[in-house]
Structure 1
């Protein structure tokens, strides 16, 4: 999949860089204390893309600027939640884990065991890169009633 230059630029401005691999030990302990099972796709995501605050600027037709704020900061995203089933597993037929939030904590972002990315209202991408490209460029995503897994 080809990723847009805008996506790469926004991620770099947020602190991401090629080969990024942060220490996630503290986050893994935080999640374990709350009963979360952290599978390999979630660990890889957190190592490369965790702890980013992603701000996407868009100039509206009237000339004003809108900023969409997204976060992959696990402690902020999960807060006091525990590992109760979020209900997505029945739609995607595999385990999912909360990994971030979109639009200033209005919509939750999840990763499945296979690495597909979902938000609380639908599919975002079959890979992390596809998901970031869709989010940052505000491409359409598929809502649950149209998603067939």
Structure 2
């Protein structure tokens, strides 16, 4: 569970404005059922993250710390149909990456692994950080660490 002190003042303000509060819990049963039906193994880290940050949308743009700030939404239903992409990237890094939302109005997807690391999932793979640090990076416009700059050719 995230604490207010886990975030900078700027990130905290943005999260509060989007409806987040410490200890917040949303019902994730429908998301988990839909992901499971589509073949995704929803691990405990994803469940905890979605219960706390699910349905949070931050709608802004502009200059960030090391990349532009982009709107994002924590809602795994926005990733339905893309499960194979998450599975394949997860296979490459030896992790289970569960879809959790989208970035930049669906141009990119967000996922989380069993250790709580938040990923940018597109035709390349980046990592924003784990848990609160990952959320902070999304809010403040911190570029993800590149894990793979393109999908490896077989």
Quote the residue 1:70 is aligned against. 72
Q: Which structure 2 residues correspond to residues 74-113 of structure 1 after superposition, within 5 A?
A: 74-75=76-77, 77-79=78-80, 81=81, 83-84=83-84, 86=86, 87-113=88-114
1:125-144 counterparts in 2 under 5 A? 125=129, 127-144=130-147
Please give the root-mean-square deviation of Cα atoms over the aligned residues, in Å.
Answer: 2.4
Structure 2-normalised TM-score? 0.78
Q: Is the 8 A contact 2:120 2:144 kept in 1?
A: no
Bigger-Rg structure (1/2): 1
> Aligned equivalents of 2:26 and 2:43: distance in 1?
17
Aligned to 1:119: 120
Give the gaps of 5 or more residues in structure 1: 61-65
More strand by share: 1
Query: Structure 2: how far apart are the matches of 1:139 and 1:5?
Result: 16
Query: What are structure 2's unaligned runs of at least 5 residues?
Result: 150-154
Aligned to 1:56: 60
Does structure 2 conserve the Cα–Cα contact (< 8 Å) formed by 1:34 and 1:82?
no
Per the TM alignment, residue 123 of structure 1 is displaced from its structure 2 partner at its CA by: 1.1
CA distance in 1, matches of 2:144, 2:49: 20
Q: Identify if the C-alpha distance between structure 1 residues 90 and 12 changes in structure 2 by more than 3 Å, giving closer, same or farther.
A: same
Aligned residues between the structures: 138
